[in-house]
Amino acid sequence: MPKKRGKKYIEAAKKVEAALAGNGNGGLDPEAAVAMVKDTSVSKFDATVEAHIRLGVDPRHAEQMVRGSVVLPNGTGKKVRVAVFATGDKQREAQDAGADFVGGDDLVKKVSDGWTDFDAAVATPDIMSKVGPLGKILGPRGLMPNPKSGTVTFDVARAVREVKGGKVEFRTDKFGIVHAPIGKVSFDQKQLHQNLGALVDALIRNKPATSKGQYLRSFYLAATQGPSVPVDVKEAAKLHTSS
């Protein structure tokens, strides 16, 4: 049974439709799309703005799985609770950097007992043999430390600062779509546009060598509970820096 939409949502969706009327590109340019998402947010709280981007990859093949991370220049607007698995001096480094939970064997046991009250995890390489078995708990929640995303490292201080400062991890789902937050509706338009540019840049830099044809296939922005706003993929691709 289709979900019944409220009056505010219907009015917001009509605004999006009106903006797209006569638009032969199938989407708004990124700056206009960001403005539209802010204008059509219907939630009473400070909604998260998310990007949903379908890539020209076949995730059934491991070499075409797109996975990485990006530090959003203006952060996510969310308070991130970070857990760090480490021993010795690395525990103090993590605490000094602002980690919320730090431990070694004790933290491993706590998580193995089912505790996952944190938003991101960092681990030093020398403790991964103990953290690895926690994959069945942390993996499905997207909390497993991973060297590809910079969360398995001896430089725990830097990792903690990056995660708390707006680091976002992304990966394609089984349909080849990446879902990632780019900030809050309360952010000004420039902040959201800059964050979006950083995400697009990271996605293009992580394009698999075996991906052929158009890479950015479809692109939508949406605020929590708000309507989806299509983005012109050709204009979005221009957000990629050449440096």
pTM score of the predicted model: 0.81
Which pLDDT score, from 0 to 100, does residue 17 have? 87
Q: Looking at the structure, do residues 117 and 142 belong to the same domain, yes or no?
A: yes
Q: Is residue 199 part of a domain?
A: yes
CATH of the domain at 175: 3.30.190.20
Predicted confidence (pLDDT) per residue in 182-220, tens digit: 999 999 999 999 999 999 999 999 999 998 889 999 999
Judgement on whether residues 154 and 91 belong to the same structural domain of the protein: yes
Q: Are residues 152 and 34 in the same domain?
A: no
Q: What confidence score (pLDDT) does residue 240 get?
A: 84
- Per-residue pLDDT for 1 more than 50? no
Claim to verify: residue 176 and residue 132 sit in the same structural domain: no
pLDDT at 2: 53
Same domain, 158 and 100: yes
pLDDT at 36 over 80: yes
pLDDT recorded at residue 55? 96
* Residue ending a domain, choose from 164, 194, 215: 164
Residue 7 lies in a domain: no
Higher pLDDT, 194 or 78: 194
Residue 20 forms part of a structural domain: no
Domain that holds residue 38: 25-75+167-237
Residue 160 shares a structural domain with residue 112: yes
pLDDT at 126 over 90: yes
Q: Are residues 160 and 54 in the same domain?
A: no
CA atoms within 13 A on the CB side of 231: 31
pLDDT of residue 154 exceeding 90, the answer is: yes
Q: What is the mean pLDDT of residues 166-172?
A: 89
Task: Give the end of a domain, one of 164, 188, 222.
Answer: 164
- Do 65 and 94 reside in the same domain of the chain? no
For residue 3, the model assigns a pLDDT of 64
Domain count across the chain: 2
Q: Are residues 143 and 92 in the same domain?
A: yes
pLDDT value, residue 49: 96
The per-residue pLDDT for 60 is 87
Q: Does any domain span residue 123?
A: yes
Same domain, 121 and 153: yes
Band of the pLDDT at 243, cuts 50, 70, 90? Answer: very low
**Considering the chain, what is the average pLDDT of its residues?**
92
> Is 49 in the same domain as 95?
no
The separation between the first and the last C-alpha atoms of the chain, rounded to the nearest angstrom, is 49
pLDDT at 144: 94
Residue that is last in its domain, among 139, 164, 189: 164
Section 20-31 average pLDDT: 84
Whether pLDDT at 130 is above 50: yes
Please tell me whether residues 160 and 172 are part of one structural domain. Answer: no
